[in-house]
Structure 1
Amino acid sequence: MNLSQLPLNSLRAFYVSAKHQSFTRAADELCVTQTAVSQQVKGLESRLGTTLFNRMPRGIALTVEGLRLFPVVEKVFSELTVSLENLCLGVSREPLNLGVVGTFALHWLLPKLDSFYCQHPEIELRISTNNNVADAFSEGLDYIVRFGRGHWHGSVAKLLFDTPFTVLCHPSIASQLRNPQDILKYTLLRSYDIQEWDQWLVKAGVKAKVHYSNSITFDSTALMVDAAAQGFGVALASPLMFASKLKEKKIMQPFDVFLHKGGYWLTRLDSKPETYSQLMFKSWLEVQIESQDFK
């Protein structure tokens, strides 16, 4: 197929419709009628010989083919927009779309970013946070920093560093903890992994089981540790990620018992070669990690 024969308006109609999951909302953004958007998409489907949307009584949803096409078209339009804006401003910067789990972004990456910007003013870094979302690459991201053990389908994963977990809590609580079993007297702050506290207790040599009726579940480790710093209970988290709170004595680490759940990984789609901006960011990350004191 001659790609030059694909009309730009049809591709844009597909992109905006996929972004909103609605022909009506796409029409509002493009300042045309809903019928015009629908016809543009139908024309594109006809040229490609495939269906990009499932039409349903109450909306539309991308087909498998549409899901494959969307991140490609999104990246093209995003880069085109940036290039045109930079052209008008007389500058040229290559974008890098980075997805990062929130704890890593707040407590490790952001404090170091000045160094990256100083070294690479030619790269425009765009950061979004996620919670290890399985299909995050469908959002057009170039790299995703994830937490886990390095196994994500369709991805190339490079280990940045391990982050073992241990108990973190307010100093007033830490002063009352004589042995690991004492944590069971307090509210346990946890993630959606219901086994992690039991696993830590086994590591600590405690045979007692956790009663999760006395617990609070968080979808953000950073929020969980903030709750621990306010005395709501004891958290299980990485002391490396919260070194500043430990230094400021907002929280304390009462035990040297660690649960190894995984580490932070830099991941990308294995179906796409790395760009200049990706290689520069990866190289910068490696230097930052080499200089990090992990003790």
Structure 2
Amino acid sequence: MSRHLPPLTSLRQFEAAARYESFSKAAKELGQTASAVSHAIDALEKHLGIVLFKREGRGVALTAAGQTFVAYVRDGLTMIASGAERLPGRPTDRHVVLSVVPTFAQRFLVPRIPGFRKQHPGIRLSIDTSHRLITFPHDTADLSIRFGRGVWPSAKSELLFRESLIPVASPSYLATITKAGVINWSLATFICVSLLEHDWGTWRRAVGMEAHVGDELHFDTAHLAYDAAVAGMGIALGRLPMVLPELESGALVSAMQPVLDIESGYWLVGAEDRETRPSVEAFRRWLLQEAESYCAMVEHPIAQLRVGGHHEARL
């Protein structure tokens, strides 16, 4: 295998030069001369038998082949760095990298992090909030928290909790579209979450509502959608238990039944064939326990919402 590898010392120079589109800037980052970087790239191109950069005056630009190759180089360097960090006994072995969907991070995880740090003061957490689907084992994340049905390639999933849908709005906004206890949905603005646009369709079908009624306002996270509903901008399709704080405070109220159970939920996801380090296992056990306690805590208020009073609707 080693006979077919390009000169390994040139790969870092190539990646840096591709990132900056400059040999001199890459040299500055690497503590080398621009001439050394240029010679390394020449050697790499000679080994591959293909031109990776177009030389343009004082700058350089990747060729089509260079653009293809740099993606593989970055993946390879990332995996090497990740493997080095995960070597047992290294200080970085106590570092846990998480990829978390934003709403879960804001509403569930971050408020509980101080408790984890108190229990495990020697473990360092890095949290990346993104809707991007982590691909194990190529990404650097140790664990991912994702929303869905729990099935992802090359991954093992453990359910944290499922969710239920309920329309919510501020009391003042609801009053503007309600007459004699009946909501006129044709006057409503439906607050939508871009990645969950199917939610309103699911709920409308469940209650027999027309597919296209009222206006729409779109946000990219449920957290922002709830903020918009609190501000009186429309009716959001709340997800229980995440929207409970606003319901319990009175900032939002249930607009209409039913509370609709769905199959999707939040899952703790990891590589199916990766050996779990003690620090990662500690976080996994802690999060599963937190989720179990949370489910027990919200069970009663959710049950009350299922049988609570609500407005009628003009569909």
Superposition TM-score tier, normalisation by shorter sequence? 0.7 to 0.9
- Higher CA-based Rg: 2
- Structure 2: which amino acid aligns with 1:272? R
Identity of matched residues, %: 26
**Alignment partner, residue 124 of structure 1:** 124
Q: Given the alignment, which residue of 68, 72, 78 partners 1:71?
A: 78
**Alignment partner, residue 294 of structure 1:** 298
Are 2:244 and 1:243 equivalent residues in the alignment?
A: yes
Contact 1:50 1:65 in 2 (8 A): no
The alpha-carbon distance between structure 1 residues 230 and 121, as it changes in their structure 2 partners (threshold 3 A), is: same
Query: How many Å separate the matches in 1 of 2:286 and 2:41?
Result: 42
Query: How many Å separate the matches in 1 of 2:129 and 2:17?
Result: 24
Cα deviation, residue 191, structure 1 = 1.9
SS in 1 for 2:253: coil
Cα deviation, residue 139, structure 1 = 4.6
**Alignment partner, residue 313 of structure 2:** none
Contact 2:160 2:292 in 1 (8 A): no
Contact 1:15 1:70 in 2 (8 A): no
The alpha-carbon distance between structure 1 residues 244 and 77, as it changes in their structure 2 partners (threshold 3 A), is: same
Cα deviation, residue 216, structure 1 = 1.4
**Alignment partner, residue 307 of structure 2:** none
Query: How many Å separate the matches in 2 of 1:161 and 1:54?
Result: 52
Structure 2 residue runs without a partner (length 5+): 55-60, 300-315
**Alignment partner, residue 305 of structure 2:** none
Cα deviation, residue 27, structure 1 = 3.7
Stretch moving more, 143-152 or 235-244: 235-244
Contact 2:155 2:271 in 1 (8 A): yes
**Alignment partner, residue 89 of structure 1:** none
* CA deviations over 1:109-159 (Å, ceiling 9, x no partner): 111111100111111001110014355975511111111111222222221
Query: How many Å separate the matches in 2 of 1:278 and 1:105?
Result: 17
SS in 2 for 1:163: strand
The alpha-carbon distance between structure 1 residues 7 and 200, as it changes in their structure 2 partners (threshold 3 A), is: same
SS in 1 for 2:252: coil
**Alignment partner, residue 199 of structure 2:** 196
Cα deviation, residue 173, structure 1 = 2.8
The alpha-carbon distance between structure 1 residues 145 and 37, as it changes in their structure 2 partners (threshold 3 A), is: farther
Q: Which has the higher strand share?
A: 2
SS in 2 for 1:106: helix
What does residue range 84-99 of structure 1 map to in structure 2 within 5 Å?
94-99=94-99
Cα deviation, residue 7, structure 1 = 8.6
Query: How many Å separate the matches in 2 of 1:218 and 1:265?
Result: 23
Cα deviation, residue 189, structure 1 = 0.9
Count of paired positions? 277
The alpha-carbon distance between structure 1 residues 136 and 76, as it changes in their structure 2 partners (threshold 3 A), is: closer
**Alignment partner, residue 148 of structure 1:** 148
Query: How many Å separate the matches in 2 of 1:45 and 1:261?
Result: 52
Query: How many Å separate the matches in 2 of 1:250 and 1:29?
Result: 51
**Alignment partner, residue 260 of structure 1:** 262
CA RMSD, 1 decimal: 3.6
Query: How many Å separate the matches in 1 of 2:94 and 2:218?
Result: 40
**Alignment partner, residue 229 of structure 1:** 230
Query: How many Å separate the matches in 2 of 1:8 and 1:17?
Result: 15
Query: How many Å separate the matches in 1 of 2:35 and 2:282?
Result: 45
Query: How many Å separate the matches in 2 of 1:142 and 1:266?
Result: 11
Structure 1 residue runs without a partner (length 5+): 87-91
Query: How many Å separate the matches in 1 of 2:134 and 2:93?
Result: 29
SS in 2 for 1:114: helix
Query: How many Å separate the matches in 2 of 1:184 and 1:62?
Result: 51
Contact 2:86 2:93 in 1 (8 A): no
Query: How many Å separate the matches in 2 of 1:42 and 1:289?
Result: 54
